Chains A and B, each alone.
Chain A
Amino acid sequence: MAPDPLLNRREFMGRAARAGAALLAAGGIAFLTHDPSGPQPASEELAASGLPDFSLPEAGRKMCIARGADRLRTLPLALQALGGIETFIRKGDRVLIKVNAAFASPPLLSATTHPELVSELTRLCLKAGAAAVHVADNPINDPASCFALTGIGQAARSAGAEVVLPEERFFHPLTLPDAHLIKNWPVLLDPLVRATKLIGLAPLKDHHRSGASMVMKNWYGLLGGRRNIFHQDIQTIIAELARMVKPTLVVLDGTTTMVSNGPTGGSLADLKDTRTLILGTDQVAVDAYGATLLGKTAADLPFIAKAEALGAGSADYRALSPIEVSA
Chain B
Amino acid sequence: MSDLCSNNAHLSGRPRSRRQTLIGLFVFAVLAAAAFWICWAQSRFNPAVLNYLAGAVVATQPPASAEPFLELPEGLSPLSPPERFDRETLADKINGKAELYLSAGFVRLHCQRLALAGRPQDWLEAFVYDMGTAPNAYAVFSQQRRSDGTPLGFAEFAYRAENALFLAHGSFYLELIASSKDSRLLDAMEALARGFMAQRPAAGAAIAERDLFPREGLDEAGIRLIPADAFGLAGLDRVFTAAYAADGGEMTAFLSRRESPREAVDRARAYVDFLKAYGGEVSLADKPVGGTSVIAILDTYEVVFALGPFLAGVHEAPSREEALALAVRLAEKLKEAPHGP
Contacts and interface: CB of A to CB of B under 8 A. Distances in A.
A5 B7 contact: no
B95 interface: no
A280 B87 CA distance: 52
A9 B7 CA distance: 13
Interface in A6-32: 8-9, 12
A36 to B, nearest CB: 14
A13 to B, nearest CB: 9
Nearest to B1: A9
Contacts, number: 8
A9 B5 CA distance: 8
Range, interface on chain A? under 10
Contacts of A5: 2, 5-6
Contacts of A8: 5
Contacts of B1: 9
Nearest to A12: B5
Nearest to B6: A5
A5 B2 CA distance: 8
Binding site secondary structure of chain B: loop
Contacts of B7: 3
Interface string A58-76: 0000000000000000000
A63 B324 CA distance: 92
A1 to B, nearest CB: 14
Range, interface on chain B? under 10
B46 to A, nearest CB: 15
A12 to B, nearest CB: 7
Contacts of A3: 7
Binding site secondary structure of chain A: helix
A78 to B, nearest CB: 52
Contacts of B6: 5
A223 to B, nearest CB: 31
A12 B4 CA distance: 11
B257 to A, nearest CB: 54
Nearest to A8: B5
Contacts of A9: 1, 5
Interface string B42-56: 000000000000000
A19 to B, nearest CB: 15
B7 to A, nearest CB: 7
A95 B7 CA distance: 84
Interface string B1-40: 1100111000000000000000000000000000000000
B87 to A, nearest CB: 28
A256 to B, nearest CB: 52
Nearest to B2: A5
B1 to A, nearest CB: 7
A274 to B, nearest CB: 50
A288 B1 CA distance: 93
Interface string A28-41: 00000000000000
Contacts of A12: 5
Interface string B149-166: 000000000000000000
Interface string A205-233: 00000000000000000000000000000
B48 to A, nearest CB: 15
Nearest to B4: A12
A12 B6 CA distance: 13
A8 B2 CA distance: 10
A9 B2 CA distance: 9
A3 B1 CA distance: 15
Nearest to A3: B7
A9 B6 CA distance: 11
A3 B7 CA distance: 9
A12 B1 CA distance: 10
B279 to A, nearest CB: 58
A215 B106 CA distance: 53
Most buried by A among B2, B5, B7: B5
Contacts of B5: 5, 8-9, 12
A214 B118 CA distance: 65
Nearest to A13: B1
A267 B6 CA distance: 99
B325 to A, nearest CB: 71
A5 B9 CA distance: 14
Interface in B232-281: none
A8 B6 CA distance: 10
A10 to B, nearest CB: 11
Interface in B152-199: none
Interface of A: 3, 5, 8-9, 12
Closest 7 CB pairs of A and B: A8-B5, A5-B5, A9-B5, A9-B1, A5-B2, A12-B5, A3-B7
Given A5-B6, A9-B5, 6 more contacts: A3-B7, A5-B2, A5-B5, A8-B5, A9-B1, A12-B5
8 contacts: A3-B7, A5-B2, A5-B5, A5-B6, A8-B5, A9-B1, A9-B5, A12-B5
